[in-house]
Each structure stands twice: as structure tokens, then as C-alpha cells.
Structure 1
Amino acid sequence: MQKLLPILVPLAVAVTVPAFAQNRQVTGQVLNATDRTPLPGVSVVIKGTTTGTATDPDGRFSLPLPADGNPTLVFSFVGFEPFEARVGDNGTVPTVQLREKTTELNDVVVVGYGTQRKRDITGSVASISAEQVAETPIARADQILQGRVSGVQVTQTNSEPGGNVSIRIRGTNSINTGNEPLFVVDGFPGAGDLNSINPSDIESIEVLKDASATAIYGSRGANGVVLITTKKGKVGKGTINVEAYTGVQIVRHKYELMNAREFASYLNDVNAGSQTLPQPYTQEQIDALGEGTDWQDAILRPARLSNYQLGFNGGTEETRYNLSFNFFDQEGIILNSGFKRGTVRLNLDKKISQKLSFNFSSQVAGTFEKRAFVNSQGGSFGGALLDALRFNPINPVRDENGNYTYSNTPLPYVEDVGNPVAFAEKVKDQRTTARGLFNVAANYELLPGLTLRISGGLDYNNLQIDGYRPSDVFLGRLTGGSANRTQQNRYSWLNENTLTYDKKLNPDNALNVVVGLSEQQFYGNDFNSAVNNFFTNTLGSDNLALGANIQTPNSGRYTNTLASYFGRVNYRLFEKYLFTVTMRADGSSRFGKNNKWGYFPSAAFAYRLIDEPFMKDFTALSDLKLRVGYGVTGNQEINNYQSLARYDVGSYAAGTTRLVGLVPANIRNPDLRWESTAASNVGIDVAFLENRISITADAYYKKTTDLLLRVATPRTTGYGDILLNAGSVENKGFEFALNTTNFDTKAFGWKTNLNFSLNRNKVLDLYSVTELPVGASSSSLFVGAGLGNTSILREGEPIGSFYGYQFDGLWQTEDEIKAAGRTGVRPGDPRYVDQNGDKAITAADRVIIGRAQPDFIYGVTNTFSTGGFSLNIFIQGVQGSNVLNLNRYELESGITTTNKLKTVVDRWTPENTDTNIPRAGSTIRRSTGIVSDVLEDGSFVRLKTVTLSYALPKFSKVLKQASVYVTAQNLVTITNYTGYDPEVNSFGRDNLSLNTDYNAFPSTRSFTAGLKIGF
């Protein structure tokens, strides 16, 4: 052994020295850069080798180092940016902070009373960014939702400049109350009409669709919630942004009407056989006629459209600002109509200290609207356009003296209506609004993660309506000129106080809790006055004292209050199990004394399956999240004081004295309460190939009970109906959204966004009846026409079911009529199906002949980019809906003494029997009521928007960006509908007269060119 020592000792030394060198270690800790919490499971690898380790639950790691040099460590973790750090000479690295990847999943989304990462959302929420808003020149903020969000149907009910849209999120819940969503602008709920909101100021729009997302708004969340966030100041050097665009609008489609020769021949046919009147025109006169006056062309024009925006943005860590000025000007394609809007917005964010900050958002806006849309009978339909469709094309716009043709001729062969061009040019109907929307909030951090927010807001809206009908136009002839002035003041104030606790408790648990209380009060007052019989038209409505006949003025005032308590808990476990629980209690002055308070709970769960270890083998998957939720929300959109016993003003004449008194108006209902919508939702979010393909799909079921329903009462009560909580409606549907990045290279980019939605609506219960005929066209608009109700509410059928007679061709011979046992009809008259076989067409033969609600809706957007060019193409579609074309009802038969569609040239005669157009003078269609031959397919595919933009090279150091663009809107519409546009509802947001077209303002095709510059 001793002989071996000289050999073993040097060998042992040689072996142990390298071993000791290998014991050199590096230690450290890895944190989340956002909240500085430890990150467990982070991969730590020596660069260029396979030697590595992972961080422990406290984010710490220890790793052996090679004998020589200071290697570089590579840190990587799912969802975070990779990071490299060089080991120091002392064998250590500084604390490593990893930043989350700026992927779509980590985008911050605005939700009720807070924000969340998209990856953490448990409900159904869709988001539209400022970039998407900027892609299309729009007049109203809500128009951007059209065709871009699954589950949201947006209908342009009135294409008139300044006209409204109707929005349905996941179907129609209510029958007699509102179905529009709640709009929240910068935290202010109940923002109402969005005409005064400048779209260029919008940073993002979030649409809350399911109950787990909307329950935080309780009694106003049943129809969905739309959150609009305007642009805030950004830290950095101040920027100046300028945008301007201008363009032209032209009518998209016109009715083909009879020309002068055709209408003269038609009038002769209508008058044929008259024993009292000669024919209105001789054949020689007819032969001498040409095309005559195209009255649509006479009142329609190419119309200008322009928009100008100037914005200032910037600030420091302590103070940030965003200031913008905007002016929007849109002429209407009907003469003397248009809409203008001017806005000023100022948003300020001020950080007083590390704990205290203030937020201030404000907008002041003014709008001015000129309308040409009051009909000759003084109602709310038609006007210049209605008369243009009816007026005799033989008559000129002006007579031989250059004056407007006063009225229709020749009487009594034609209807006595006024010259539509004179109407458009001389009749005044102007609306001016002034609106201020202000919100200020103070935020104070009481403890780390615990923040108190106190906010107050004011929304003030003043509307003035100014109308005048001069005595020298047909409309004012009977009154000697008439003027009216209306003023409406609406304002509300809001106070909200919230406590938010947002804390990552440890690497595995995170908690976000919001509790708060809110109070909002609404006020309004109205005043209206009207005067007739003016001895001069010079001042119009500017001096009502010039009118000799003063009408009874009227005025009113109202107020209502909403008080609320609410809370929400979001809990994250292991970053993959996500829980949300929400509760809100609302007390409203609108409801009965026995039911002032309503309670609206919800719960949701989401499972981020992608974060499970066993999913790492599925490398093609980038994200996979399952969602499920259930909740209850409410609807309080009824008029004020409906639960109370109210009185209306009543008056009567006693000789020459007018006596005024009060009459009971309704039956009180102290038990009146909210409609209640219980909704469940199941959804999945999945992405592939590093989020190049992402899919969101949702299935939902909603049942609305305790409908605020007007129920008929016995005549012995002295009232026609009472507002009760009765009946129920269901909606169920499916939504699908697909986003793909098809190409993403420096040379070429192509992205696609597709959404698809279907909803099935059904009336479940109508309380005391199983069906109820409804429809606004039974109003005074068609008095004496026998039109009747247009729709029916029937248990088992959807809201918007058209109700009428089934067209069955034309009667051809007297023998055919006699064999059928019919009376009161002639050959050439329309024939309708005798459903009950009693040989008579009565109300008992009416059936459901179509449905307003579509089978499905969809939208597709493709964005292409190459070099400095970008092309955006947006297609919108609606499939399976019907539209009731009441224009055709009038223009193919209806009033026999007005102009008609050119199709009537092919009307039935004994020599022309192969047609479905009734004989000249037939009044059967008009006297019967709603019929299926004027119910048309309203499906359409529309090339809604095409925008081509080019980013100009930077030719100056002060220039940050510059681009030019051209946009075409409503470029192509593929549809079988024969009217102006299949996207229509002449009765606005009326739930019971959906898709009804009677003289709606024509839709337009527009072309604009614009410039954007940033300094």
C-alpha cells in the first residue's frame, strides 16, 4: 500500500481539483415585471448548452456553472417574453423580471367598473379597438357594431342624416318595453342617444353580452351593455393629430315609377266606364306626352359629406391630457335636409401622489338637423318623398311663370297633394341640440391593492324643435301657415363610490373584488306651443305673435331615481381556474311601492385548459379556454309613474268657453316590478399556431319572465288596459367568431375576421290570451284603408310574425268567381286563400305569412397590407328575414289616383291575364289588409365598406405619420328586395312593427377621400 501512495495521492488531487471547480453555483430569483410576484416553473438554461433548471414556488433557482468564464443564462416561460442575463464575476445575477408577452390574450379589456386581461374573462365579451373604429367614416358610434360583433344585430332604421339605429344583442327580450342595450360612456351609464358622441374620440368599444358580464348593471343589463371608452392622454412628447375627409353620397336605389304617358293611360283605365266624368286624357294628348317629371330625381340630389378632426395628446407621469375638436357635416340626399355636429372633448388624468389621482372626462357637443320628413297630413311619415312617389309625372316642377306647381292635377282624377319640391324647399323642420357630458373621479390607494374611487357625473341635453309650414305651399293652405316650437330639457346626475381590492396573494392565487354603491337621478321638462293663420310668412316661426290662431300650449316635468348596491369577485387559481360572482341590488322609483327593489345575481367559471401540463404536447394549440355562466338581469325601460294612478287633462267646449279638467288615465299597480331575464352561456376560446388562428364560440339560452305587458281589461273598468308583470319570452342562439392571420411577412400581410350569429325567439306566454294582433300600421297613418294589424303575438311564435292573407293570384273570369261562391270581386282583382272554406275572406282567414327576425346574420372583414398600402374590405349579410313593403302596397294598388310602379304597366286586362298585377282601379288589396304579395324577402349581402389607404413616407423630422385613404360605403348590395333598402324599419325601435317599410328615407352609396397627419 505504501508503495502505491506516491501514485494515488497525485491522482486523487488531479481528480478532486476539477470536481471542486464544478461546484461553482449561480442563484437568483425571477419575478413578474407587472406586479413583482414570484414566477414558479420558469426555465433557466445556460446559453448554448442543455444544462438547466426551473424556478421553485418562490421563483428562486440554483444552477451549477462551468469552471471557466461567466456564461449567459436564458430565462423562458409560457406567456412571457424570453430574457437573457450574464452571470457576474461573483457568480450571481440580478433579480430577473419577466414581462408578459404583448399578445391579444394579455390585452386589457374594459368591463363594468374595472378592467381585466382578456385571458381572465369568464363571460361573453367582444371588443372593438380604435383602429377598427378608424377604418370606416361613420356618423354615429353605434354604427361600427354593424356586422362586426357576433350576436349583435344593428339595423339602420332611418337613413336620414342623424337617423337612429336599432341594436339587438342576442335577440328581442321584451314586448312593450325597450330592447336597446345600455350605453356606458367613460363610466357614465344611460348615455342614451349617441348622435352627439364623436366616433373619432373613441379608444375602444366593449360589448357585454351574457348575464355574467352584464349583471353588474342589474336592472338595466337584460338587453346587453355597450361600454364606450374615449381616448386618454399618453405619457411622452405631445402629439398633434389632424384628420379630414370629404365625399359625396348618391341614392343607392330608386323605385321605377310610371312616366307621364304610362300614368295618363293608367288614369284613363281607372276612369273607364265612369258615368259621370269624361276620360282625363284623350289619346292624342297621351301620344304627345313624353317621360314627364321624375319627381324622385326632382327632390333627390348628390349630397356632400365632410369631417374635420384636430387632436392634442401627451403628458408626463403626473399629468396626461387628450384634447380634440371635431366638426361633422352631412347633407341629406333629399333637398333641404342634413345633419351637422360640432364637439369639443377634454380628458385629463392627474397623479397627485403615489396614492392619489384624479380622472376627468368631458364632451360638449352641438347638433343641428334639417328634416324634410313630415307628410302632407302632418304626421310623422313621408313628406317630400311620399308626395314624390304619388305626384302626377305629367305636371312640371314649376309653371310657365316660374312658380312652383301648387298641387296635383287634374282633379278629381288624382289625389290632391302638394308639390314635393316646394315642400322640401319651403317647409321647415329643424332640430337643435346642446349636450354636455362630464365625469370626474378621485382614486385613493388606502392599502397596497385596495383603492377607493369616488366619481360624479352630469349629462345635460337640450333639444329645440322649430317648425313652420308657410301658407303658400299645399301643406299650409288650410291653416293659413302654421308654426310650432318645442323645447325639451333632459339631464341626469350620477354618483358612484367603489372599493377595489386587486392583489396577487401568492403565485397560485389572485383576487379582484369590487364593491360599490351608486345613485342616479333623471330629470326632464318639456314645453310646446303652436300658432296658425299667419298674415305673413316672412319671419316663419321666429315670431309666433304674427299668428292669429293660438293653439293650446302644453308642458310637463318628470323625475326618477335609481339607487344601487353592487359587488363582484374575480378569483384566479393557478392562473387557469377563473371564478366570477356578481350581485347587484337596484331600487327604482319607477316601480310599485311593494317592489321598489330588485336583486340580480350571476356566477361564471372559466377553465384555461391550455395551461395544464398535459397540453404541452399539443404544440399546435396556443390557447384553449372553456367558459360557463348563469345570471339574472332586469329591464326597467318603461315611462315614469306607470305604477301610480295618474290623470290626464280633459277639456270640452261649453258655448264659446273651453272648460278644462282632469280624467283618470290608468289603473294603478303597486306591485309593478322589473322584467327579469335569466340567462345561461357556454363558450369556448381556442387558438392555433401561435394565435394566428383564434376561434370564439358561444351557445346561450335566455328566458324573460314577468314581462312588463299591457293587458286588456274589461270595459266595465273604464280603462282599455293595465300594465302588469305577465308573460314570458325566450331567446336561444349560437355565436361564432373566427380571426386568422393568413400571411404576416414584411412584404405582405392578410388578416380575416368573420362572425356568424343565429337567434331563435319565441313568445312563451301572453297571460290572459294565446295571441294578440299588433302592429303600428293600424294607426292613423292608414285610417280608412282597412289595413288592420300587421303582426301577431302568438304563443309558440317569434315576435315580429307578420299576420295577413295568403295571396293566390288573380281572379280571371266571372265564372271562376261564381264557382267559388265569392261576391264583391271582379276579374283582375287579387285572390286570397280561403283558409276556413266559408267562401268569404274574413279576419278568420289570416295566417302568419312571414317573419321579421332573420335566420342568421354575419360579417366578414379582410385586411391586406403591402408596402405602405392597406386595403380593408368589409362584407355584411342578413339571411332569412322578411320585409313588409307598404310602399308597394300603395304603389301597385292602394290609392288608385296616385302614380304607380312601372310594374303596373303590366297590369291585368282581359287581353293580358298572365300577370299578378291587379287591374287598374282595383281596391281589393287596400281594403283587405296585410297580404303576402307585398311581403318580400329581406335577405341581403352587402359590400359595406372598402377602404384603401397609403402611408406616406416621412418627409420631415416633425412628421410622425401621414396617410391618405379613399373609402366606398354600401358599394354593392345583392338582394331580391324591391324597395329602397332591405335594412329598414319605418317605425324605428318599435318592437311590434319590425321590418316595416313605409316611405323610409332612401339609403345612400358614398365615396370619401381623407388625410391623416400626426406631428
Structure 2
Amino acid sequence: MLLLACLFVGIGLVTAQTQKVTGVVISEEDGQPVIGASVLVKGTQIGAITGVDGDFTLPNVPSSAKTLVISYIGMQTQEVAIKPSLKVVMKSDTEMLDEVMVVAFGTAKKSAFTGSAKVVGTEKLEQSQVTNVTDALAGAVPGVTLTSNDGAPGSKSSIKIRGFSSINAKNDPLIIVDGAPYSGDINNINPNDVESMTVLKDAASNALYGARGANGVIIITTKRANMSGEAKVTFDAKWGANTRALQKYEVIDNPGMYYEMHYRAMNNYYKSTGMNDQAAWLEANKNLFGSNGGLGYNVYTVPDGQFLIGQNGKLNPNATLGRVVNYKGRDYLLTPDDWEDVGMRTGLRQEYNFSVSAANEKSSFYVSLGYLGNEGITEGSDLKRLTGRLKADYQAKKWLKIGGNMGYARFDSNSLSNNGTSSSTGNIWAFVTQMAPIYPAYVRNADGSIMVDNNGIGMMDYGSGINAGMQRPFIADANPILDNKLNTRNSEGNAINGNAFVDITPIEGLKVTFNGAFNLDETRHSYVYNPYYGQFDSTGGTVSKYHTRTYDYNLQQLVSYARSFGDNNFDILLGHEYYDYRYYELGASKSQMFSQGNKELDGAIIDGQGASSYKE
């Protein structure tokens, strides 16, 4: 009894040495959670990162610890006394309050701005290895959520600022580029050309954009030359590799073990019908490869008169992996493949950027060229993009400043079919991860070499009888790996955007501005489904072509007056804006292709009666 009492006392002493601390970190500026703030027990390595609600939990804080240190980029570091439950309010860094930030139709000092906004500057953008410039906002702006249903190179993330504003309507924020609404593909803007991004998050900040800004506003400002007097030439080259981020699940990858497990299921079923052990063993072996609950394929060779699975439920020790089958006078080798290894690859990412800039007291210019080649981790998934930009301004008179900005992008991207539909047999991700380790991916000759059909295509197994007559009970007549090699989902085109401005300053503080901007995006989409294999082989293959044009222009006339009186700031803005948006689409499709080589409409015979024309 005495020993037991001492034991309980010892446990009590141990638990008393640590404590659990929970809390939430919010921003004083807008009351929103601060996501990704560092919470550290002072003088230790014990810490945590705040979650999407700004919350944190430290389960084992030493009782001797007295202080927590909370830090976040752009905010003052806070030290607070440790309590079981904490609410920490973080303030903006006062050294940043006099920075000028881009806001609706102009600029403002942070100290004078009353709305809720967050600026992501050049330093943060240069640290981000992104294809889409808005992806650099991930983890950088509280209240901004980026989600993506497609991991293809160049795919766009869905952006939500402070959650959903509508169930049925669009929730994407308004994008402003150099002062004008941008309706083009955000992928056509080279992140290396961007100076900063300002995220306007509340109604006060977005009010000048009206209903267009109801979901928030992202203002993108492109680079201009810094005042240096001498030309600045920069070049950078980046290489990288795209690989699968999430590793494979732990699954049965041994063919023999898979056969054993399926045998047990069948053996138990036959026993449940009243068969004895001997009869159930014979029946399960007989149907193990058949269509009556079987697996369809046998990839093991066993001696004549023996079964693959013994009466002990284990693989026959005399079985050897790989089986040659003669079918219609031709020998086939049946041997399994790792479908994930066959379907995936390591993609190469290469990026090159070159720029020249210069500025003096009266003028500045910035010229850039950029190239991006980005391969996905499967064949048929890639992006190539060439961009160029020219930006210049000139102080013609003390009261007159003019300038212009022109950007161009040439893009060519390939994507996968049914990439986000998990139930589709064309979804390579779902398909290869569910494929059992007993099925061949390729159709092989007896010597192990891959068979080549009459069209010069390396044959792959669709589970539909083309491989030694074998029928796969699991999603037959499907092989998205070869489909992605033979089929085409391509989008290529050109995009150009530009703007010009005239600033007139008749007296100090008063500025009259005329802005004009346009965007033009011409894209050609090609969808070709091969005539040889898969779900469209019965139609002889199909060809679909779509051409889309997006065009908009924007005209602004603004009069602004700004004065400061001590700590008081006075701003007035009077403006008029005209915006016009046009979208055109023209498409057609045909089937019964002459050959895989001609992927145009004139390379198919049957008119699909699917021509369409659309305008908005």
C-alpha cells in the first residue's frame, strides 16, 4: 500500500511540471485571424504555428516558463505572459506605416489608410517559385484562401478573400493590373514582372469598385525602374523538378500476397455455402482467374497439375512470376507492372528571365523577356510560356507626365482528360492508385519486349482482351496512361495587354489623370481522342476545335486632391470610368479520323453536327 501511494505521488509531480497553453492570434488592424504566426516559448525550442483560425496549442509548456514570443512578418513581435488561455492582438510594424501602398484608383500612406489591405512586395514574390502570380499570396495574407482542384502546370487557384460571399454566384476577387480591370488569364502575367500586390479585403477598401469588388480586390502593380541613373541589367535562370508531393499509400504491392487475399475471400464464400475445406479449396482455385468472382489474370507459372494457392492458403512455392500464353497463334508474356511508376514521371521546370531598366529625374523604362517551361508529373501535362513587357514614362513638363505599359504572352499548354473526376476511367490518378499489383500495364512479346501495333504504337493493356484475350473485371477497356499519350487536350494562343496614362498637375496637390487600358486574349483549344484505343475507338476518333477571344477596354478620367495638415490627411477623388467587355467563342467537332497524324477538322470524315457560336 505504501509503495502504491508513493507511485501516485510521483505521477503527480511529473504532470505538475508541464502545462497546456491554448490561444488565438488576431490582427489589430481588422480583427481577422493571423494565419501562420510563430508562437514560441521564450528561451526554448517549444513552439507552434497558428492555424486557419489563428489558433494555437502548446501541450507541454514547462511550468517554469513565463513568456511566449509571437512574431509575424509585417507585424510587431509580441511578448506575453503565459496563461492557460490567451488572446493575442498583433499590431502592424510602425516602421512600415509611412510606406506608400497602391489602393483603389491611386496610392495612400499606410498611416493614412483606414481600410483593410495587405501588401505583398517584391521580396516575397522573388522568394516564391510560382507560375501563377496570385499563388504567391498563399500564406502571405491573413484572410485569403487559395484552393486548387487541378495540379496541372499553369492551373489557376480559386481565391477567396474572407470566405464565401455567395453560394451560387462567383466568389473570385476583382483583379486590377496597373490601375485597370484585368479579364485575361492571370497565367499570362510573368511573376518576375510584378512589383507588388495589394489585397483589399473590406467594404471600405473596395467601395470605389462597387459591386465588382464585393469579393475583394487584388491590385497588381508591374515593375518600373528605380532611380539610379545607370541602366540595370538582370538575368536569372532557375531549374527544378516536379515530383509527387504525397508519397504512395501503404498498399499490397506483392502479386502473390494479393492472390492469397483474394483466394481467402473466395474460399470463405464457398465454405459459407456448405462446402468442406477440400471442395472450397478446389473451387476457389478453379475460379480464381475466371469471370465468376475471379481476377481475370494469372501472371504466375505453376507446374502442371498444381494450383497457385495451396491448402494452407499460401502461394505455391513452385510458382514463378511471369507466364507465357499462346493466344491465336501468338505468344504473350503476362507479368505485372507498377502502374503508378508507369504513369508518373519527374517533370522538368526551367525558367529564364532577362530585364533591362534605367531611370533618371525625367524618365524611366523597363524591358523584360521571360520563358517558362514546366512539365507535369505525367505525360500530356505541361506548359510553355514566353512573355515580354515594355514599360516607360516621361516627365515632359513640370506639370505633365505621360507613360505607357505593354505586355505580351505566348502560351502553349497540355492538360489531362477528366483530371478532377475521380469516378471517371480517364482519371489517371484514381486509375493507377486503384490498380491491383497483378495486372500488366503493357502488352508484351514472349521475350518481354513491348508489342508494337500496325500504327507503330507501343501497346498497353486495356483489360479488354487485346492482351492474350485476358479480360480485366476491374474497369475494363480503360488505360488512361496510353490515352494521355495518344489524346490531345491543348490550348495555345497569344495575349496582349496595355495601358497608357497622362497626369496633369496644375497646382500642388491637384492631379488630373487620363487612363486607357485594353486586354486581348486569343486562344485555340484542341481536343483530339484517338481512333485506336479507349472509349472513342468505336467512333474512329473525334476532333473538336474551339476558338475563344476575350477583349475588354477601360477608360478612366480622374481628378484628385490631397493635402496633409499635421497628423490629418485630406483626400478627395472625382472620377468617371467606362468599361467594355466582349467574349466570343466558335467551335466544331468531327469524328472518324483518317489518321492520328492529322489532328485538324479536315482530317476527319463525319460531321458531328456540333458546331457552336457564342458571344457575350
TM-score w.r.t. length of structure 1: 0.43
Aligned partner of 1:397 in structure 2 is 442
Q: Tell me the secondary structure at the aligned position of residue 310 of structure 1.
A: strand
Alignment partner of 2:359 out of 305, 315, 336: 315
Q: Which amino acid aligns with 2:451?
A: G
Amino acid at match of 1:243: D
**8 Å contact from structure 1 (residues 525, 555) kept in 2:** no
Give me the whole-angstrom Cα distance separating, in 2, the residues matched to 1:446 and 1:107. Answer: 26
- Residues 493-642 of structure 1: matches in 2 within 5 Å? 493-504=553-564, 506-507=565-566, 510-539=569-598, 541-542=599-600, 544-559=601-616
- Tell me how far 1:415 sits from its aligned partner: 2.4
Tell me if 1:249 matches 2:249. no
State the alpha-carbon separation in 2 of the partners of residues 377 and 470 from structure 1: 20
Alpha-carbon distance in 2 for matches of 1:381, 1:350: 58
Q: 1:377 to 1:546 in 2, by over 3 A?
A: farther
* Alpha-carbon distance change, 412 to 306 in structure 1, aligned in 2, over 3 angstroms: closer
2:308 matched residue in structure 1: 284
| Residue 434 in structure 1 maps to residue 494 in structure 2 | yes
Once the two structures are superposed, residues 757-806 of structure 1 have per-residue CA deviations (whole angstroms, 9 ceiling, x without a partner) of: xxxxxxxxxxxxxxxxxxxxxxxxxxxxxxxxxxxxxxxxxxxxxxxxxx
Q: Give 1:356 deviation, angstroms.
A: 1.1
CA contact (8 A) 2:519 2:551 kept: yes
State the partner residue of 1:980.
Answer: none
Q: Quick one: distance in 1 between partners of 2:537 and 2:524?
A: 25
1:356 aligns with 2:415: no
Q: Do the aligned partners of residues 164 and 531 (structure 1) sit closer, same or farther apart at CA in structure 2, a change above 3 Å counting? A: same
Task: Give 1:281 shift.
Answer: 6.1
Task: Measure, in 1, the Cα distance between the counterparts of 2:421 and 2:105.
Answer: 49
Name the amino acid aligned to 2:488.
K
Contact preservation (8 Å) 1:307, 1:326: yes
Q: How far off its partner does 1:503 sit? A: 2.5
Query: Structure 1, residues 223-258: CA drift from partner, whole Å, max 9, x if none?
Result: 111111010123311110111110112112234444
- Is structure 2 residue 108 aligned with structure 1 residue 116? yes
**The structure with more strand, counted as a fraction of residues:** 1
Asked if the contact 1:387–1:417 (Cα under 8 Å) also holds between the matched residues in 2, the reply is no
Q: Given that residues 373 and 385 in structure 1 are in contact (C-alpha distance below 8 angstroms), is that contact kept between their aligned partners in structure 2?
A: no
> Deviation of residue 375 (structure 1)?
7.0
CA 1:472–1:117: 2 relative to 1, 3 Å: same
Q: Distance in 2 between matches of 1:316 and 1:545?
A: 57
Residue equivalent to 1:461: 521
Structure number with larger C-alpha Rg: 1
**Residue deviations 1:131-172 (CA, integer Å, cap 9, x gap):** 110012211111111011111112233211111211111111
Q: CA deviation at 1:200?
A: 0.7
Is 1:299–1:424's contact at 8 Å kept on the other side of the alignment? no
Instruction: State the SS of the aligned residue for 1:325.
Output: strand
What is the Cα deviation at residue 345 of structure 1? 0.7
**Aligned match of 2:192 in 172, 194, 200?**
200
Alignment-derived partner of residue 371 in structure 1? 415
Question: d(CA) in 2 for partners of 1:180 and 1:229?
Answer: 19
Contact kept, 8 Å, 1:465 with 1:487, in 2: the verdict is yes
Residue 551 of structure 1 aligns with an amino acid whose one-letter code is: G
Match of 2:506, as an amino acid? L
Tell me the SS of whatever aligns to 1:312. Answer: strand
CA separation in 1, counterparts of 2:403 and 2:533? 54
Unmatched tracts of structure 1, length 5 or more: 1-101, 560-1015
Corresponding residue for residue 344 of structure 1: 388
Render the CA deviation track for 1:650-677: whole Å, top value 9, x for unaligned: xxxxxxxxxxxxxxxxxxxxxxxxxxxx
Q: Residue 493 and residue 262 in structure 1: after superposition, are their counterparts in 2 closer, same or farther (change >3 A)?
A: farther
Q: Which residue identity lines up with residue 237 of structure 1 in the other structure? A: E
Q: Given that residues 356 and 367 in structure 2 are in contact (C-alpha distance below 8 angstroms), is that contact kept between their aligned partners in structure 1?
A: yes
Distance 1:323 1:294 in 2: 49
> 2-side partners of 1:355 and 1:377: how far apart?
59
Q: CA RMSD in A?
A: 2.8
Aligned to 1:261: 256
**Closer/same/farther in 2, CA of residues 380 and 284 from structure 1, 3 Å limit:** closer
Q: Which amino acid aligns with 2:548?
A: Q
Residues 376 and 349 from structure 1, CA distance in 2 versus in 1: closer, same or farther, beyond 3 angstroms? closer
- Output the CA distance in 2 between the equivalents of 1:278 and 1:209: 58
- Report the secondary structure of 1:162's partner residue: coil
1:399 CA displacement: 1.8
Distance in 2 between residues matched to 1:300 and 1:473, nearest whole Å: 20
Aligned residue in 2 for 1:638: none
CA 381–351 in structure 1, closer or farther in 2 if over 3 Å, else same: farther
Maintained 8 Å contact 2:199/2:219: yes
CA distance, structure 2, for counterparts of residue 364 and residue 222 of structure 1: 29
Q: 1:476 aligns with which of 508, 516, 536?
A: 536
Paired residue secondary structure (2:231): strand
Instruction: Specify whether residues 457 and 361 from structure 1 end up closer, same or farther in structure 2 by C-alpha distance, changes over 3 A only.
Output: same
2:148 is matched with 156
Instruction: Tell me if structure 2 keeps the 8 A contact 1:359–1:441.
Output: yes
- More contact order relative to length (CA 8 Å, sep ≥ 6): 1
Give the whole-Å Cα distance in 1 for the aligned partners of 2:98 and 2:614.
Answer: 48
By how many angstroms is 1:555 displaced?
2.8
- Deviations for 1:155-194, whole angstroms, at most 9, x for unmatched residues? 2332111112111111111000111111111111144531
Provide closer, same or farther for how the CA distance between residues 449 and 390 of structure 1 changes in structure 2, counting only shifts above 3 A. same
Paired amino acid for 2:442: V
> Taking every aligned residue pair, what percent have the same amino acid on both sides?
24
Deviation at 1:548, TM superposition (A): 2.0
- 1:80-127 C-alpha deviation (Å, 9 max, x unpaired): xxxxxxxxxxxxxxxxxxxxxx94221111111111111111111111
User: How far apart, CA to CA, are the structure 1 residues paired with 2:420 and 2:116?
Assistant: 48
Q: C-alpha distance in 2, partners of 1:548/1:379? A: 32
Structure 1 position 140 matched with structure 2 position 132: yes
| Counterpart residue type for residue 116 of structure 1 | A
The secondary structure found in structure 2 opposite 1:495 is strand
Q: C-alpha offsets along residues 727-785 of structure 1, whole Å, 9 cap, x if unaligned?
A: xxxxxxxxxxxxxxxxxxxxxxxxxxxxxxxxxxxxxxxxxxxxxxxxxxxxxxxxxxx
Q: How do 1:91-130 residues align onto structure 2 when only pairs under 5 Å count?
A: 103-130=95-122
1:263 CA drift (Å): 4.4
State the alpha-carbon separation in 2 of the partners of residues 390 and 550 from structure 1: 37
Contact 1:427 1:470 in 2 (8 A): yes
Could you give the per-residue CA deviations for residues 54-88 of structure 1, whole angstroms, max 9, x where no partner exists?
xxxxxxxxxxxxxxxxxxxxxxxxxxxxxxxxxxx
- 2:163 is matched with 171
* Contact 2:426 2:480 (8 Å CA) reproduced: no
Do 1:237 and 1:315's aligned partners in 2 also have CA atoms closer than 8 Å?
yes
Alpha-carbon distance between aligned partners in 2 of 1:154 and 1:231, rounded to the nearest angstrom: 24
Q: CA deviation at 1:416?
A: 1.2
* Structure 2: gaps of 5 or more residues: 1-93, 271-286, 299-306, 310-314, 322-334, 453-458, 465-469
| Distance change >3 Å, CA 381–CA 159, structure 1 → 2 | farther
**What does residue 415 of structure 1 align with?**
475
Would you say 1:221 and 2:213 are equivalent positions?
Answer: yes
| Corresponding position of 2:23 | none
From 220, 238, 251, the counterpart of 2:231: 238
1:853-868 correspondence runs (5 A): none
CA distance in 2, matches of 1:289, 1:264: 13
Q: Secondary structure at the match of 1:158?
A: coil
TM-score normalised by length of structure 2: 0.69
Distance 2:429 2:584 in 1: 33
Q: Kindly state the Cα deviation for residue 390 of structure 1 after the two structures are TM-superposed.
A: 4.2
* Cα shift at 1:305: 0.7
The reply to whether residue 212 of structure 1 matches residue 210 of structure 2 is: no
